[in-house]
Structure 1
Amino acid sequence: MRGTTTYGDAIMTVMLLTEMAPPPGAQEMAGLRSRARAARRGALVALTASIALLTTVQLLADRAATREQTLPLAVLSLAIFTAALPVMAITQYVWGARARLVRRREQELYAVARSGRARPLTRPAVAACWAVTLLLGWTVPRSFREAALYNFADTLSWAVEALSVISVTAGVLFLLWWARDVVGMLARALRSGGSPGDPWDPGGGTRPGEGAALWTGAAVAVVALLGARAHLWEPATGVVYALLTAALVCGVVTDE
């Protein structure tokens, strides 16, 4: 009889465990992580699209046969670059703010921040993409010079020089901030002794891997476009359009 009662109690225990409410903070944590992943995806899409579009337009401008064909492409290149900078800045700011909120809440709930372990690698990669975008933008005046708009090209060159000084200063400050952040992360890791956190943590701060192949495809397409822009290879115009389409499509549909 005691064995039967124990077996029944075990069944009831399993039923209660399967039907009980999620641990405190689990639903909130899942929502915060979902919003952070969405912000991350938006920032990476903006980054990928900006570089791919700017590179493609400049490639087409270099291949234009006449000044009349170069001018609209030069204007489009300037418009893309002007729009890309604030879009990239805003989306990455939102990504960073939501990621910090996730780490702060993880620390409060689980005594350890599981997210943000890739920060030492992610931030230099994003900074490198910013550098590539700025380098592409600094070549915009040349397109207007090839379109015979010399006065406007000179004005843009002056603006590019001012932007380059600001960019170099920002790069130095970023390196100092990144180094301090890395040292702080290492110090906290050594001081905490590798706390395992809360076993009830439902997410562990991991990112879904379903879109890894698509992100890789987008990165390969962007690198191929940059190689063509640097004259490392000379793809046909149809191939350039195909690479642009691949970069945009892979970036948009990934992580869906």
Structure 2
Amino acid sequence: MLLTEMAPPPGAQELAGLRARARSARRGALVALTASIALLTTAQLLADRAATREQTLPLAVLSLAVFAAALPAMAITQYVWGSRARRVREREHELYAAVFSGRARPLARLAVAGCWAVTLLLGWTVPRLFGQAAQYGLADALSAATDAMAWASIGAGALFLLWWARDAALTVTRALRAGGSPGDPWDPGRSARRREGAMLWTGAAVAIAALLGARAHLWEPATGIVYGLLTTALVCGVVTDE
């Protein structure tokens, strides 16, 4: 009898459900992350290109609103993703005495931390937009708030790097001890899902990188191209990744 025709061991169906919930949480976290960076970058690009103070002000307000909404959205969705992924690993260990998922966790966490850094850097430029819109009092107040946030972020980043280095070392040690498991045979279609998801997220990442390059003045795309890149990032992340 082929392995795929055998009945799954006890708990495998429950584990499949846990994995599906973890994938859903992962998708939600990545959607929140990509949408936040893409929208914030686009709003700031358009604000920089505004010809008058009256045109700059609504885009500055939009940038502030996106930044204020992005931080809790990213934090909540990533917490849910992490808690569900941890439950999957715990159940895998209970059933198989091995963990098949989470081996790329250190790299994923480092990438997410980098996206947090990009989001914060974009948010810290919002006061300058209000200065360009001649809202000097609000710009000064926001500058004071971002200065305090910057120091808190530096401290949190240092703690994260220490914790990440420890977690990465433990992950590598466990992988070497396991001798390279071929993976869980009771999760059919896993490779296909990874290929499809990787293509979509790569498209979103390329579009966001292009927007960030424009925000850093590495190139000067037309406004229509900016809207096209924003649409690509949102479509790849929100609409097509099922």
TM-score range (shorter-chain normalised) is over 0.9
TM-score (norm 2): 0.93
Name the larger-Rg structure: 1
**Mapped pair 1:203 → 2:187:** yes
Which stretches in structure 2 are left out of the alignment for 5+ residues? Answer: none
1:43–1:92: 8 Å Cα contact kept in structure 2?
yes
2:56–2:133: 8 Å Cα contact kept in structure 1?
yes
What are the Cα deviations for residues 166-223 of structure 1, in whole angstroms up to 9, with x where unaligned?
A: 1101100100000111122233334x44374897x40289461212222111111000
Please give the alpha-carbon distance, in whole angstroms, between the structure 1 residues aligned to 2:35 and 2:196: 20
**2:8 matched to which residue of 1?**
22
**2:63 matched to which residue of 1?**
77
**2:25 matched to which residue of 1?**
39
2:123 to 137, 146, 155: 137
**1:230 matched to which residue of 2?**
216
Q: Percent of aligned pairs with the same residue? A: 73
Letter in 1 for 2:44: Q
Letter in 2 for 1:112: A
TM-score (norm 1): 0.88
Q: Matched residue of 2:196: which SS? A: coil
**2:236 matched to which residue of 1?**
250
Aligned residues: 239
**1:8 matched to which residue of 2?**
none
Please give the alpha-carbon distance, in whole angstroms, between the structure 1 residues aligned to 2:160 and 2:79: 14
What RMSD, in angstroms, separates the aligned Cα atoms of the two structures? 2.1
1:115–1:206: 8 Å Cα contact kept in structure 2?
no
**Mapped pair 1:173 → 2:159:** yes
Please give the alpha-carbon distance, in whole angstroms, between the structure 1 residues aligned to 2:12 and 2:205: 34
What are the Cα deviations for residues 127-170 of structure 1, in whole angstroms up to 9, with x where unaligned?
A: 00000000000000000001111111000000000000111011
Which stretches in structure 1 are left out of the alignment for 5+ residues? Answer: 1-13
What are the Cα deviations for residues 79-118 of structure 1, in whole angstroms up to 9, with x where unaligned?
A: 0000000000000000000110000100010110010010
2:213–2:219: 8 Å Cα contact kept in structure 1?
yes
Cα separation, partners in 2 of 1:70 and 1:157, compared to 1, 3 Å: same
Please give the alpha-carbon distance, in whole angstroms, between the structure 2 residues aligned to 1:117 and 1:160: 36
**2:179 matched to which residue of 1?**
194
Cα separation, partners in 2 of 1:198 and 1:251, compared to 1, 3 Å: closer
Please give the alpha-carbon distance, in whole angstroms, between the structure 1 residues aligned to 2:90 and 2:211: 39
Please give the alpha-carbon distance, in whole angstroms, between the structure 2 residues aligned to 1:254 and 1:206: 18
**1:68 matched to which residue of 2?**
54
Greater than 6 Å deviation, 4+ residue runs = none
**Mapped pair 1:104 → 2:90:** yes
- How far the C-alpha of 1:22 sits from its partner, in A, is 3.1
**1:6 matched to which residue of 2?**
none
**Mapped pair 1:150 → 2:136:** yes
- How far the C-alpha of 1:228 sits from its partner, in A, is 0.3
Letter in 1 for 2:51: A
Please give the alpha-carbon distance, in whole angstroms, between the structure 1 residues aligned to 2:206 and 2:178: 39
Letter in 2 for 1:202: W
